[in-house]
Amino acid sequence: MKIACISDKGGRSALSEDLWRKLRVLAEARGHALQRIELDRDEVSSCTGCFLCWKTASRECVSRDPIGNLTRAKLDADLAVWLAPVVFGTASSAVKNAMDRGDLLWLNPKRAAVVIGYSEDMDNEERSTFLDLIRLHRGAKDVVHPENKEDVSVFATRSARDNDFICRRLGDML
């Protein structure tokens, strides 16, 4: 299985690197190929809402930046893992820009997605907001679009112990 891990370069922390290390060990142990795609907040532009990615056959983004290139390169992965620093209960701007524009990254029915939010000082309300953002609007439990058949799992981590738990759960999934 090919796994693409999309993360925020500027949002690296001891927690995220610990998680990345554990994910890499897990993927190697299971014989999966793991690729890390790091986004720099200064290099990615925001979605302008032109809807060309929705209207056209290729579902590419017209912007010439790393995310646009990613959509043009056709992400060749069976599983997309989003490593998102959590700010105020949502993903950091770099990852959020990718989520906003990555129609291709999100909405490939053949590809599963895992979203992992991390922050050492995330409070309970921020954690709950982040989980609800994905749980209520994405995946099998979608309450807004019950017909939506996306396969999305979400986790939030505040410590190395949480990372161990997430990797165990991912190990069951892989």
Least gap, CB of 61 to other proteins (angstroms):
7
User: Considering beta carbons, is residue 88 or 165 the nearer one to other proteins?
Assistant: 88
Residues in 52-71 that interact with other proteins by CB under 8 A: 52-62, 64-65
Closest CA relative to residue 99, chosen from 146, 150, 140, 145: 150
Total residues at the site for other proteins (CB under 8 A)?
A: 47
Site for other proteins in 111-170 (CB under 8 A): 123, 125-126, 129, 132-133, 136-138, 144
Residue 115: CA count within 13 A, CB half-sphere: 28
Smallest CA-to-CA distance from 71 within 92, 47, 90 is with 47
Find the shortest distance in angstroms from Cβ 157 to other proteins.
18
Q: Report the C-alpha gap between 99 and 84 in whole angstroms.
A: 10
Q: How far apart are CA 3 and CA 113, in angstroms?
A: 10
Question: Residues interacting with other proteins, by CB under 8 A?
Answer: 41-42, 44-49, 52-62, 64-65, 72, 87-94, 96-101, 106, 123, 125-126, 129, 132-133, 136-138, 144
